[in-house]
Amino acid sequence: MFGLGRLPVRTRIGIITIGCWIGILIGVFRWRLTGDTTLLEAFNRVGLVMLALWLAWPALVIMRRWFFFALPVVIAVGAWRPMLLIYALPLLLLYWFIVPRKKDEKKTGNKSQTGK
């Protein structure tokens, strides 16, 4: 639509974040004029989440895929039964350290076993 598909993901997240912060400014002006805080609160929540996502993006890119599935499960367990977090969080961390990591050929400089 606007050609944002060719930009890196972090740049697109940054553009959305800037748009949300502009929305916050508009919400402040609307709040000052009418007293309605709906727009301000909506853009404030989304803007803060997008800012956190933009800041965390480099770390999220290198995070393992299973972590994106395990973390919501741990959060759901914590919301359902907070006392189970005593068991769920250590198991999540233990699994994180026990699972072997795949070595990237580009980083290590090693050729594959097949010689191709």
Q: Name, in order, each residue with C-beta under 8 angstroms of 67's C-beta and a sequence gap of 6 or more.
A: 96
Question: Could you list the residue range(s) of the whole structural domain that residue 44 is in?
Answer: 1-60
Least confident of 39-43, 54-58, 66-70: 66-70
What is residue 105's predicted lDDT score, i.e. its pLDDT?
A: 46
**Does pLDDT of 71 surpass 80?**
no
Q: What is the DSSP string of 59-99?
A: HHHTS-HHHHHHHHHHHHHHHH-GGGHHHHHHHHHHHHHHS
Contacts of 92 (CB under 8 A, 6+ apart): 70, 71, 74
* Residue 42 placed within a domain: yes
Regarding predicted confidence, which is higher, 35 or 4?
35
| Residue 46 and residue 7 share a domain | yes
User: Of residues 33 and 5, which shows the higher confidence score?
Assistant: 33
User: What Cα–Cα distance (Å) separates residue 11 from each residue in 39, 48, 52, 61?
Assistant: 24, 16, 14, 14
What is residue 91's predicted lDDT score, i.e. its pLDDT?
Answer: 81
Q: Which residue has the higher pLDDT, 63 or 17?
A: 17
How high is the mean pLDDT of the chain? 79
In this structure, the answer to whether residues 43 and 70 fall within a common structural domain is no
Q: What is the mean pLDDT of residues 91-99?
A: 78
Q: Are 89 and 70 in contact (CB under 8 A)?
A: no
| 65 or 27: which leads in pLDDT | 27
Alpha-carbon 78 to chain mean position: 19
At 32, is the pLDDT very low, low, confident or very high (cuts 50, 70, 90)? Answer: very high
Does residue 22 carry a pLDDT above 90? yes
Pair 19, 44 in one domain: yes
Give the tokens for residue 34.
């009418």
Distance from C-alpha of 79 to C-alpha of 9, rounded to nearest angstrom: 31
Residue 82: pLDDT over 70: yes
52 and 74 both lie in a single domain: no
56 and 68 fall within a common domain? no
